[in-house]
Amino acid sequence: MTDSSSVSPREQALAAAVQALLRACDLDLEHSDLIGTPKRVARLWDTLVLSGYDADPAAILGDLVLGEGDTELVVVRDIPCHGMCPHHLMPWVGQATVGYLPADKLVGFGRLSDLVHCFTRRLTLQERVCNDIADALMQHLSARGAACVITGQHNCLNVPDDKHGARVVTASYRGELKTRPDLQAQLISRG
């Protein structure tokens, strides 16, 4: 059992909102399936859906590796991610590929995954996530180029019209990666 003093104000407000939603649906909050649901949903939203608002891209990318030799392209593929569509509050799941052309700063590979989570764990569009990630790499690493490609499956597409299996691919390219098809090909190749 969670001590109520360790529950954040946001989590408490979310639990109250979920409880109100269930009541608005004319559901019995004492039914065995729903006992504890407001608290469980609030915890999930606080830690996995909205936690990106508490993350700082500058801090994530602040632990730099300096003094390495020239690196042409750094790519981390298949970063699992999920987000919440702001239009329907329906989840999407996917995989991100993040790449950048370093100038004189490198960052640990795990930091790129943390950056993806920073921007996906918000109410946001998949397209915006790609833009935010590429922009953060340019700004905080002074990269010569940056890119993010995300492939996602959106429940807001699958549930209403049963477009099962529909995948959405979005991409953002900045700097040299925007103008160099050879590097774009390396970014999206599976080899």
The CATH code of the domain that includes 22 is: 1.10.286
In contact, 185 and 179? CB cutoff 8 Å: no
pLDDT computed for residue 3 by the predictor? 55
Do residues 145 and 173 lie in contact, with contact meaning Cβ atoms separated by under 8 Å?
Answer: yes
Angle among Cα 87, 91, 92 to the nearest 5 degrees reads: 105
Q: How confident is the model at residue 171 (pLDDT cuts 50, 70, 90)?
A: very high
Within a domain: residue 4? no
Flag whether pLDDT at 1 surpasses 50: no
The whole domain housing 33 covers 9-49
181 and 123, same domain (yes or no): yes
Q: What is the total count of domains within the chain?
A: 2
> Looking at the domain assignment, is residue 115 inside a domain?
yes
Q: Note the pLDDT tens digit of each residue in 117-132.
A: 999 999 999 999 999 9
User: Is 102 domain-assigned?
Assistant: yes
Residues of the chain with pLDDT > 70, as a percent, come to 92
Q: 86 falls in which pLDDT band (50, 70, 90)? A: very high
User: How much is the pTM?
Assistant: 0.90
Residues 72 and 156 in one domain: yes
Q: Are residues 114 and 23 in the same domain?
A: no
